[in-house]
Amino acid sequence: MHRNTYRLRRGLMATAACLVLSAAVPALAAPLVPSEASRAYDLKSQPLAKALSEVARVSGRQVVVSSSLVRGKTAPALQGRYTADEAYAALLSGSGLKITPVGATLVVQPLRGDTPATGEPQAGDAEVLSELVVTGTRIRGEAPVGSTLISITRKDIDASGYASTQELLQALPQNYAGGASEGAASLSSRNGAAFNGGFGTGVNLRGLGNTSTLVLINGDRPAMGGVAGSFADLSLIPSTAIDHIEALADGASALYGSDAVAGVVNIVLRDRLDGGEARMRYGTADGDFSEVQASVMRGRVWERGYLTFAYEYLRRGRLAADDRAFAREDLRPFGGLDRRTGYASPGTIVAGGRNFAIPAGQNGVGLTAARLGADQVNRTDARLGADILPRQTRQSIYLSGGVDLDASTTLSARILGADRRYDLRRTPTWASQVTVPVSNPFYVDPLGARQPVRVQYRFADDLGAERSRGHISAVNGGADLTRRIGTWSVTGSAGYGREEDVTGGRNIVNTYRLNLALADTNPATAYNLFGGPRSTHPSTIDAIRGWTKGRGLYTVWTAGLKGDGELFDLPAGPLKLAVGYEHRSERYRNTSITYQTTADQRVSPVDYPGVRRIEAVYGELRAPLIGEGQAIPGVHRLDLSLAGRIEDYSDFGRTSNPKIGVNLETIAGLTLKGAYGTSFRAPSFQDQRLGPGLIQYFPFAVIDPKSPTGKTNVLFLLGNTPGIQPERAKTWTAGLEWRPPAAQGLRLNAGYFRVEYSDRIGAPNAGALNMLINRDLYRGQLNETPSAGEIAGYYASPYLSNTSGIAAADIKAIANARTQNLSSLVQDGIDLDLAWQGRLRGDPVGLGVSGSYTFRVDKRFTAGSPSTDQVDTVGNPLKLRVRGRGSWSHGPWDLAAAVNVAGGYTNQTVSPARSVSSWTTVDLNVSYRLPEQDGLWSGVRLTLSASNLFDKDPPFVESVTPSSAIGFDTDNASAIGRVVAVTVIKPW
Q: How confident is the model at residue 2 (pLDDT cuts 50, 70, 90)?
A: very low
Please give the backbone phi and psi of residue 462, each rounded to the nearest 5 degrees, phi first.
-95, -50
For residue 27, the model assigns a pLDDT of: 33
Q: Provide the 10 A C-beta neighbour count for residue 812.
A: 17
| Alpha-carbon gap, residue 414 to 399, rounded angstroms | 6
**Chain centre distance of CA 626:** 41
How many whole angstroms separate alpha carbon 103 and alpha carbon 121? 10
Question: Is the pLDDT at 10 greater than 60, yes or no?
Answer: no
Give the single-character DSSP code of 514: H
Weakest mean pLDDT among 60-69, 347-356, 910-919: 60-69
Helix (H, G, I), strand (E, B) or coil at 828: strand
| Span of 132-136, 263-267, 537-541, 601-605 with lowest mean pLDDT | 132-136
> What mean pLDDT comes out for the span 780-801?
92
Q: What is the pLDDT of residue 125?
A: 36
Whole-number pLDDT of residue 245: 94
What pLDDT band is residue 933 in, cutting at 50, 70 and 90? confident
CA angle 752, 754, 759 (to 5 degrees): 170
* Interval 733-743 mean pLDDT: 94
Percent of the chain with pLDDT over 70: 91
pLDDT at 876: 94
Beta strands (DSSP E) in 378-487 are 387-389, 391-406, 409-426, 434-436, 453-456, 466-485
Q: What is the pLDDT of residue 33?
A: 31
The 3 state secondary structure assigned to 98-161 is EEEEECCEEEEEECCCCCCCCCCCCECCEEECCCCCCCCCCCCCCCCCCCCEEEEEHHHHHHHC
Q: CA-CA distance, 250 to 259, in Å (whole number)?
A: 12
Q: Which of 237, 196, 201, 202 is nearest to 417 (CA)?
A: 237
Q: What is the pLDDT of residues 199-213, one digit of tens each?
A: 999 999 999 999 999
For the residues 160-177, what does the mean pLDDT come to? 94
Residue 878 has pLDDT above 80, yes or no: yes
Non-local (6+) Cβ contacts of 778 within 8 A are: 764, 767, 771, 815, 861, 865
In 692-842, DSSP assigns E strands to 696-703, 711-718, 727-738, 746-762, 782-783, 813-816, 820-840
When pLDDT is averaged across residues 557-582 and rounded to a whole number, the result is 96
Q: Look at the alpha carbons of 137, 141, 146, 150 in this order and tell me if their dihedral is positive or negative.
A: positive
Average pLDDT for 955-959: 96
Q: How far apart are CA 261 and CA 263, in angstroms?
A: 5
Predicted local confidence at residue 127, as pLDDT: 37
**Cβ-contact 469, 547 below 8 angstroms:** no
* pLDDT, greater one: 327 or 763: 327
Residue 866: band (very low, low, confident or very high) from pLDDT cuts 50, 70, 90 = confident
Pairwise CA distance, residues 92 & 84, whole Å: 12
Q: What strands, in cross-sheet order, belong to the sheet with 127-128?
A: 97-102, 105-110, 63-65, 127-128
User: What single letter denotes the amino acid at residue 405?
Assistant: L
Mean confidence (pLDDT) of the chain? 89
Of 684 and 100, the structure prediction assigns the larger pLDDT to: 684
pLDDT above 80 (res 484) = yes
Is the model's pLDDT at 399 over the cut of 60? yes
Contacts of 742 (CB under 8 A, 6+ apart): none
Residue 19 has pLDDT above 50, yes or no: no
Predicted confidence at residue 111, as pLDDT, reads: 67
What three-state secondary structure class fits 669? coil
Asked if the model's pLDDT at residue 9 lies above 80, the reply is no
Contacts of 523 (CB under 8 A, 6+ apart): 365, 441, 442
Buried/exposed code over 533-570 (b: 16+ C-beta within 10 A; e: otherwise): bebbbeebbebbbbbbbbbbbbbbbbebebbbbbeeee
Q: What is the pTM of this model?
A: 0.83
The secondary element (H helix, E strand) that includes residue 632 is: none
Per residue in 97-123, pLDDT (tens digit) is 877 654 344 677 776 433 333 333 333
Ordered domains of the chain (ranges, CATH): 315-987 (2.40.170.20)
Mean pLDDT of 912-916: 95
Question: What does the pLDDT read at residue 15?
Answer: 40
3-state helix, strand, coil in the chain (%, to 5): 15, 45, 40
pLDDT band for 398, please (50, 70, 90 cuts).
very high
595-644 pLDDT, tens digit per residue, is 999 999 999 888 888 999 999 999 999 999 999 888 888 899 999 999 99
DSSP 80: E
**How far apart, in whole angstroms, are the C-alpha atoms of residue 74 and residue 95?**
8
H helix and E strand count, the chain = 12, 51
Query: How high is the pLDDT of residue 129?
Result: 41
Q: Which helix (H) or strand (E) holds 444?
A: none
In the predicted model, is pLDDT for residue 57 greater than 70? no
**Rounded Cα distance, 173 and 832, in Å:** 10
pLDDT in tens, 435-463: 999 999 999 999 999 999 999 999 999 99
